[in-house]
Amino acid sequence: MSPSKNMYNGAEIFFESLRRENVEYIFGMPGGATIQIYERLYDIDFLKHILVRHEQGATHMADGYARASGKTGVVLVTSGPGATNTVTGIATAYMDSSPIVVFTGQVPTNLIGNDAFQEADIIGITRPVTKHSFLVRDVKDLASTIRKAFYIAQSGRPGPVVVDLPKDVISAVSSFEYPEKVEVRGYKPNYEGHINQIKKAARAIAAAKRPLLYVGGGVVMAGASQELRAFAIENHLPVAMTLQGIGAFPGTSELSLGMLGMHGMYWANQAINHCDVLVALGARFDDRVTGKVDTFATNAYKIHVDIDPSCIDKNVKVDVPIVGDVKRVLKTLRQVMPGRPNTDEWWQQIRQWQQECPLTYERHDGKLRTQFILERLSEKTRGEAVVVSDVGQHQMFIAQYYKFNHPRSHLSSGGLGTMGFSVPAAIGAAYAVHDRPIISISGDGGFAMNMQELITAKANKLPIKFMVINNSFLGMVRQWQELFFEERYSFTDLSEHNPDYVKIAQAMGIKSFLVTRTDQVDATLEEALNYNDGPVFVEFRVIKEELVFPMVPAGASVSEMIVERLNPQRML
């Protein structure tokens, strides 16, 4: 934008607005409805555009960037199919509260509703899975709308925002004014928890005999990991994490109980069943955590801290609701604690549960297993990597066996469970984190869904470690079929149809490895981790029949965990 001009077209206003928002990257693909924006982009030097190979990949990249950096990811796509291709990625970000702004091209305003070429009502289509959405009908409103979009995406409980840009608005001319302050009617997030509620919570925790911290992704999003760690250490409290909460608290800490819920640790779920004070921090009592709600932590006095008031009492009734930013609430909570609870006996009980049912697998039969690969990966990276999982059995094994030491290091599609997430999300994360390894781990089923984005990684010489755990099955569905559907493996066997993934990666010019034996794992991991001249690809061909345990069957209580394969009816 030239300062000598008094009037600017919509494309110039668009980029000046992004400059004011300190946008570093745009993930997108050009098309007819956005061609004028891309023409202007040709001369823009303050940000980098990453050309994707599919618009779904663009949204997952922006999402991965947002999760790894804490900043807002930005997407730019054309109208019609370009816009509709973003829907899965938008829904993924919405379910996991990830801040992204998706700019979609649109047909001229006079053609909206006339079934014009490449027209789609993206506002109507995405309304259920966005935090907010805007259709810009006047270029005079463009700058203020972009300002609102970023504010809404970033503030309160983060989430995706869609901004629809008709072609005539992009070409129209207006003066430019970027508002410093934003006022959105009816939207005023409450960051400070009510002090009386916080004091009430503090008294309950101090008096507890069996307290438990139940930590969700809100702690990561709020940047509250340091406050959480200090509070847990000061009061010697056990910490159990949801899938999205992993990394909020160091997995190597003696206070960490690991993940709870459907595939959580036996001792973490036992702690849920027996605690007398349950403190939920930035968690929403998801069904994968609670199991049968009527039996969830029935003897516990429940405290719930969340910035989103709609999450309070939605799934589980609580005794002390605290609406506020978990970072600020924890800071205040530490200040008003009247004393430290005596948790010595409680910890003795927890250690007994850990000895009763440790996390284990068959280690001596010579077969290549996912658990072994992940244990070795965790040890070799010392828990310092950013690991981007896809969805399925490997996702749960990562949560169980990789020991994360930092927040924003475990990126995973939790709420929507989106297969195909890992490859593009890892690309986004690679633009956010430059000093630690970025590792994408997919199953063979999910990898096939967005493997075209390997081209994007190669084109940009990103040093990502792409790993595929190939068991030739849609593994998690197969597990359910074995345990609950009489081993009727309906359309989950991929063995006859899987391509040679190593050759596909090599065809894209990517250094590639195939691992079929346990004695190949260490050397291959070391070579892959040490290669930084671009992406590297490793396929691990693991056994087909492995199952993820512990497991809470759908609709069952978290006390009804299946802990071994030989007798699936044995529940503890």
Catalytic residues: 55, 117-118, 167, 476
Query: What is the phi/psi pair of residue 571, to 5°?
Result: -120, 145
d(CA 396, CA 389): 9
- Quickly list H helices, 382-459: 393-401, 422-432, 444-450, 454-459
- Eight-state DSSP code of residue 452: G
For 369-391, letters b (16+ CB in 10 Å) and e give bbbbbbbbbbebbebebbbbbbb
Q: What is the DSSP string of 352-367?
A: HHHHHS------SS--
d(CA 423, CA 323): 35
Distant-in-sequence, close-in-space partners of 445: CB < 8 Å, separation ≥ 6: 392, 419, 473, 474, 475, 494
CA atoms within 13 A on the CB side of 368: 17
Question: How many other C-beta atoms can be found within 10 angstroms of the C-beta atom of residue 310?
Answer: 10
**Do 56 and 88 meet the contact criterion of CB atoms below 8 Å apart?**
yes
Distant-in-sequence, close-in-space partners of 65: CB < 8 Å, separation ≥ 6: 25, 27, 71, 73, 428, 429, 431, 432
d(CA 362, CA 465): 27
Question: How many other C-beta atoms can be found within 10 angstroms of the C-beta atom of residue 551?
Answer: 22
